[in-house]
C-alpha cells in the first residue's frame, strides 16, 4: 500500500469511527436534556440550530440552484425522516435510554435493504440476508434481556421499542426519498434542505397543536440551551462532518460500516456518564448486531 493510500485509509477510517462516537455522545446529551424537555421540543430545537448552522456555512460556500423535483423529494425526506422520525427516536431514547435506542437503530440498514427491495427493485444477496439475520438476532437478544422490575411495570421498554421501530421506518423511508433527491445537490445542501423542511414541519405541528410555546419554554434556561447546542453541534460537526470526511477518503460501504459502530461506543459512555450497568449479554449482542451490519454492507 502506497503512502497516500495508507494516509487516506487511516484518515477516512478514523473519521468514520469519530463520527460513530459523536452520534453516541449526542444521544447521551439528548437523553440528559430529555429529563426537562419534550421529544418534540428537543427535535424542534435541534432543527432550528441545525438549520442556522448549516445555513451559515452555505452563506460562505455558496448554494447552487436546486431543481423543484429534488427540493420536493428532499423536503418530504426531511418531514418524514427528521420531523417525524427523529421525534420518535427521541421518544424511544427517553423510554429505552441511549444504549438500547442506538442498538435498536442498528435495524435501520435492515429496513433500508427491505424498502430498497420493495420500491427500488434491488435484489439483496445471500450474504446480505445473512447480515440481516445476524443483526436481528443481536438486537433481539439484548432488547429482551431481563430488566429491573420497576422498568417493566412502567411499560417503558415496550413503548420504547414501538417508538424505535416507527422511527427506523420513518428514517429508512426518508433515506429512500433523499436518495431520489440528491441528484443535483451536494450532501451539505441536501442536509440543509432536509433540516429546513423538518423545522417547518415541527413549527407547523406545534402551532396546530397549540404546543409551540410549551415545546420551546425549557430552552429559556441557559443551562438547557447550552446542553441543546452542545448535543446538536456534536451531532452535526462530529457525526455529520466526520462522516462526510470519511466518505471522501474511503469506500462508502466501509465508511457506513464503521459509522454504524455507535452501539459499541455508547456502552462505555452510558456506563461512565449515565451510570448504567452494562452486562456481558449487552456487549455480545451489540457486537453480533454490528457484525451483521458488516455483512450487509461489505458485499
pLDDT for 83 beyond 80: yes
Q: pLDDT tens digits, residue range 128-146?
A: 888 888 888 887 777 776 5
From residue 156, give the alpha-carbon distance in Å to each of 26, 63, 97, 108, 150. Answer: 21, 44, 10, 21, 9
Q: pLDDT tens digits, residue range 4-44?
A: 666 667 787 788 889 889 988 999 999 999 888 999 999 99
What is the rounded (10 degree) CA torsion for 93, 94, 100, 106?
A: -20
Q: What is the pLDDT of residue 63?
A: 81
CA-to-CA distance for 172 and 188, rounded, in angstroms?
19
C-alpha 129, offset from chain centre: 23
Q: What is the pLDDT of residue 251?
A: 67
| 121: confidence class by pLDDT, cuts 50, 70, 90 | confident
> Is 142 within 8 Å of 100 (Cβ atoms)?
yes
User: Could you write out the DSSP letters of every residue in the chain?
Assistant: --HHHHHHHHHHHHHHHHHHHHHHHHHHHHHHHTTTS-HHHHHHHHHHHHHHHHHHHHHHH------HHHHHHHHHHIIIIIIIHHHHHHHHHHHHHHHHHHHHHTTHHHHHHHHHHHHS-----HHHHHHHHHHHHHHHHHHTS---HHHHHHTHHHHHHHHHHHHHHHHHHHHHHHHHH-SSS-HHHHHHHHHHHHHHHHHHHHHHHT-HHHHHGGGGSHHHHHHHHHHHHIIIIIIIHHHHHHHHHS-HHHHHHHHTTHHHHHHHHHHHHS-----HHHHHHHHHHHHHHHHHH--
Q: What is the pLDDT of residue 150?
A: 43
Number of domains in the chain: 1
C-alpha 279, offset from chain centre: 24
pLDDT for 1 beyond 70: no
Q: What is the pLDDT of residue 283?
A: 85
Q: What is the pLDDT of residue 152?
A: 43
pLDDT for 186 beyond 70: yes
Range of the domain at 256: 3-297
Q: What is the pLDDT of residue 2?
A: 59
Q: pLDDT tens digits, residue range 230-273?
A: 999 998 888 877 876 776 677 665 676 777 778 888 888 888 88
| 182: confidence class by pLDDT, cuts 50, 70, 90 | low
Q: What is the pLDDT of residue 258?
A: 75
| 151: confidence class by pLDDT, cuts 50, 70, 90 | very low
Q: What is the mean pLDDT of the chain?
A: 83
Q: What is the pLDDT of residue 82?
A: 92
The predicted model gives 81-85 an average pLDDT of 94
The predicted model gives 51-59 an average pLDDT of 92
Q: What is the pLDDT of residue 3?
A: 57
The predicted model gives 200-220 an average pLDDT of 95
Sequence-distant (≥ 6) Cβ neighbours of residue 208 within 8 angstroms? none
Amino acid at each position: 500500500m502506497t503512502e497516500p493510500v495508507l494516509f487516506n485509509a487511516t484518515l477516512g477510517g478514523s473519521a468514520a469511527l469519530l463520527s460513530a462516537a459523536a452520534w453516541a455522545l449526542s444521544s447521551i446529551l439528548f437523553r440528559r436534556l430529555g429529563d426537562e424537555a419534550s421529544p418534540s421540543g428537543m427535535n424542534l430545537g435541534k432543527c432550528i440550530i441545525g438549520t442556522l448552522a448549516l445555513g451559515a456555512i452555505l452563506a460562505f460556500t455558496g448554494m447552487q440552484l436546486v431543481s423543484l423535483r429534488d427540493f420536493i423529494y428532499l423536503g418530504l425526506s426531511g418531514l418524514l425522516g427528521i420531523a417525524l422520525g427523529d421525534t420518535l427516536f427521541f421518544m424511544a431514547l427517553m423510554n429505552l435510554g441511549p444504549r438500547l435506542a442506538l442498538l435498536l437503530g442498528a435495524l435501520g440498514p435492515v429496513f433500508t435493504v427491505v424498502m430498497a427491495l420493495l420500491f427500488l427493485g434491488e435484489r439483496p444477496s445471500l450474504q446480505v440476508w445473512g447480515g440481516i439475520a445476524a443483526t436481528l438476532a443481536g438486537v433481539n437478544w439484548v432488547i429482551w434481556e431481563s430488566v429491573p422490575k420497576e422498568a417493566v411495570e412502567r411499560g417503558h421498554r415496550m413503548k420504547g421499542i414501538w417508538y424505535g421501530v416507527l422511527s427506523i421506518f420513518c428514517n429508512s423511508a426518508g433515506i429512500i426519498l433523499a436518495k431520489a433527491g440528491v441528484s443535483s445537490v451536494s450532501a451539505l445542501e441536501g442536509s440543509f434542505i432536509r433540516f429546513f423542511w423538518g423545522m417547518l414541519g415541527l413549527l407547523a405541528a406545534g402551532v396546530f397543536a397549540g404546543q409551540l410555546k410549551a415545546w420551546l419554554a425549557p430552552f429559556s434556561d441557559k443551562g438547557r440551551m447550552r446542553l441543546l447546542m452542545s448535543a446538536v453541534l456534536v451531532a452535526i460537526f462530529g457525526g455529520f462532518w466526520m462522516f462526510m470526511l470519511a466518505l471522501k477518503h474511503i469506500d462508502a460501504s466501509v465508511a457506513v460500516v464503521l459509522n454504524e459502530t455507535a452501539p459499541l461506543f455508547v456502552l462505555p459512555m452510558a456506563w461512565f456518564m449515565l451510570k448504567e450497568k452494562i452486562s456481558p449479554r449487552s456487549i455480545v449482542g451489540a457486537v453480533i448486531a454490528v457484525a451483521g451490519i458488516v455483512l450487509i454492507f461489505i458485499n
